[in-house]
Amino acid sequence: MINFSELLWKSGQRNDPGRRVSSVAEPEESRVVPALEHAPVARAQFDEGGRIAQLTDSRSSGADRFRFLRMRLRELRELAKLQSLVITSPMPEDGKSTIALSLATALAEGGKHPTLLIDADLHRSSIATNLALPPRPGLAECLEDGSNPMSHIVSVEPLGWYLLEAGEARRNPTELLQSAALPAVMQGIAPYFEWILIDSPPVLPLTDALSISRQVDATLLVARAGRTPREAIEESIKLIGQKHVLGIVLNGAGAEGLSRLYPQYYGRYEKK
Ligand SMILES: Nc1ncnc2c1ncn2[C@@H]1O[C@H](COP(=O)(O)OP(=O)(O)O)[C@@H](O)[C@H]1O
Ligand SMILES: [Mg+2]
């Protein structure tokens, strides 16, 4: 499991990931994927001072954290197949969609690595709204009518990744995600992307994320610092299955929060 506290380790410290990663080859530069060349461009809008803008500024601490997470994911990919990841959390509002947006931006690295984000929260989709993109057909239509996911995927600029929106479900979303149509969608898109991230509903109130987790390589669990109770995290891990949970991303732990919550790591980081 990736421990969130690893996000704070610096060179020279115990378990220094920087040293380990030097032996891991970086993925190749831009892959040309002809099937994606003609994806319509969707121009995203986001706040200048907002979290995504922070990521496009490579010097920000937010960008640094996500670069680190990217490095860890690339490392783990050297050990086992790791292409598709579902992002979930115990409860609503923990920050799943926020982390999904940021992680897609980091993994795509300005378009060098074909990355797809699927909005699979068919109950409360928020990715398109967050980017001020108009609603369009997406995952729900693929699951309901068997339409080709590649025909609904858009290229999100200036973020450099691809998006399959949630679309509009006419049937019960939970049942839709349990159908055999989901594995078919996953198989249809797999050849074209290096990374596939799936934003999903919370795992405690709904079974959607569990259905999705059966069709992807691993689950990334999001917890909201100072809010998500430890028991809720433990219960979620139990439901998903410990082996399937790749790690926990602690969302909203600013420097101050971290120094209070995890002084054993933060103190060392600060003094270096
Ligand atoms: N680290 C954070 N700091 C401040 N606000 C945040 C943070 N992460 C998420 N939020 C806000 O909390 C709300 C819920 O986040 P969201 O990512 O949509 O959660 P979820 O997808 O888990 O329901 C959004 O308004 C979002 O902007
Ligand atoms: Mg969400």
Q: Give the pLDDT band (50/70/90) at residue 69.
A: very high
Q: Is the pLDDT of residue 256 over 60?
A: no
pLDDT mean over 123-131: 96
Cα of 158 to ligand 2 centre, how many Å? 21
What pLDDT sits at residue 37?
A: 87
Is the distance from the beta carbon of residue 88 to the nearest atom of ligand 1 less than 6 Å?
no
Is the distance from the beta carbon of residue 92 to the nearest atom of ligand 1 less than 6 Å?
yes
Report the distance separating Cα 16 and Cα 34, nearest Å.
39
Cα of 19 to ligand 1 centre, how many Å? 33
243: Cβ–Cβ under 8 A, 6 or more apart, which residues? Answer: none
Report the distance separating Cα 216 and Cα 183, nearest Å.
9
* Structure-model confidence comparison of residues 142 and 9, the more confident one: 142
Q: Give the pLDDT band (50/70/90) at residue 193.
A: very high
Is the distance from the beta carbon of residue 65 to the nearest atom of ligand 1 less than 6 Å?
no
Nearest Cα residue to atom 11 of ligand 1? 95
Report the distance separating Cα 163 and Cα 194, nearest Å.
14
Q: Lowest mean pLDDT: which of 50-54, 143-147, 182-186, 265-269?
A: 265-269
Q: Lowest mean pLDDT: which of 18-22, 158-162, 167-171?
A: 18-22
Ligand number with the minimum distance to the CA of 101: 1
For the segment 92-109, what is each residue's pLDDT rounded down to a tens digit? 999 999 999 999 999 999
pTM: 0.86
Q: Which atom of ligand 1 is nearest to the CA of 92?
A: 23
Cα of 80 to ligand 1 centre, how many Å? 31
Contact 52, 102 (CB under 8 A): yes
Q: Which atom of ligand 1 is nearest to the CA of 199?
A: 21
Q: What sign results for the dihedral spanned by CA atoms 196, 202, 206, 207?
A: positive
> Which helix (H) or strand (E) element contains residue 85?
strand 84-88
Contact 81, 220 (CB under 8 A): no
Mutate to test the pocket of ligand 1, among 46, 54, 98, 248 (most ligand atoms within 8 A of CB): 98
23: Cβ–Cβ under 8 A, 6 or more apart, which residues? Answer: none
Report the distance separating Cα 25 and Cα 27, nearest Å.
6
Q: Is the pLDDT of residue 266 over 80?
A: no
Domains and CATH numbers, the chain: 6-11+40-268 (3.40.50.300)
